[in-house]
Homo-oligomer: A and B are copies of this chain.
Amino acid sequence: ETEIPTDHPRYQDLLTRHRIEAGVEKGITHLQGMHAEGRGSAFDYLLGEETIPSADEAERAAAAQLLLADHPVVSVNGNVAALVPGEVVDLASTVDAAIEINLFNRTPERMERIAAHLRDHGAEDVLGLDADARIPNLDHERSKVDADGIYEADVVVVPLEDGDRAEALSEMGKTEIVIDLNPLSRSPQVAAIPIVDNIVRAMPNVTEHGRALADADGATLREIVDSFDREAALAAAEDRIRSGDLAGE
């Protein structure tokens, strides 16, 4: 990472690409994660590679929602682990959330490697390895969750996930906070709080809002969540992709 000059016009894009590549090489990220990251990078390019105002509002609402939650969980897959391991740990400790690994291509080796990677970045408890409960209406392997984790959660942060899983969690009645760069894909469409932003900017910004709101009372937090307009946020993101200035290339 240190070889990429921080003033390079494509710094963030090169950095995320490098982290995913390193994740694939370490065996924590599936090869398909490289494809997903490439796909996301195109949407980020069209967004201007910045956190647009509606995304910042979504990130603040997400922080408030997490602080209000009884049992919040941050779901982690191979791309999330490769891109923002320390940021996930930071968010979880700020809003007192659990961290649970959930993989599309689940193997015991990848589960263990990701758990070790998260612990290297400061995680204490990492859920997902027990897999003693199931998400209804999802393929067998992909439905595996922990009974005291995602299965019991009231609020789940679901970054970079496929639509089937986001939909199945939504059908379980979870309040979902989705991070996804394509505002039109199913995951943000089914989310209570869709965050259309690059995860490398979004995750630390939710944490920052969480710190700023740490002492807010329940009524204040509730008001932030209730005043967030998901339809307007999705429309603003699509509008930016359609008409915004482009990032340099």
Q: Residues on A close to B: CB < 8 A? A: 17, 20-21, 24, 31-32, 34-43, 45-46, 163, 182, 184-186, 241-243, 246, 249
Specify which chain B residues have a CB less than 8 angstroms from the CB of A31 in the assembled complex: 21, 24, 31, 34
Q: What are the nearest 3 A-B pairs in CB distance?
A: A38-B38, A42-B42, A35-B38
Specify which chain B residues have a CB less than 8 angstroms from the CB of A36 in the assembled complex: 38
Give the contacting residue for A39; candidates B24, B41, B163, B182; CB below 8 A. Answer: B41
A38 to B40 alpha-carbon distance, docked (Å): 8
Q: Known contacts A185-B249, A249-B184, A249-B185: does B24 contact A35 (CB below 8 Å)?
A: no
Q: Known contacts A39-B41, A42-B42: does B34 contact A246 (CB below 8 Å)?
A: no
Q: Are B163 and A249 in contact (CB under 8 A)?
A: yes
12 additional contacts (CB under 8 A) given A17-B32, A42-B182, A242-B243: A24-B31, A31-B31, A31-B34, A32-B34, A34-B34, A35-B37, A38-B41, A38-B42, A46-B46, A184-B249, A185-B249, A186-B249
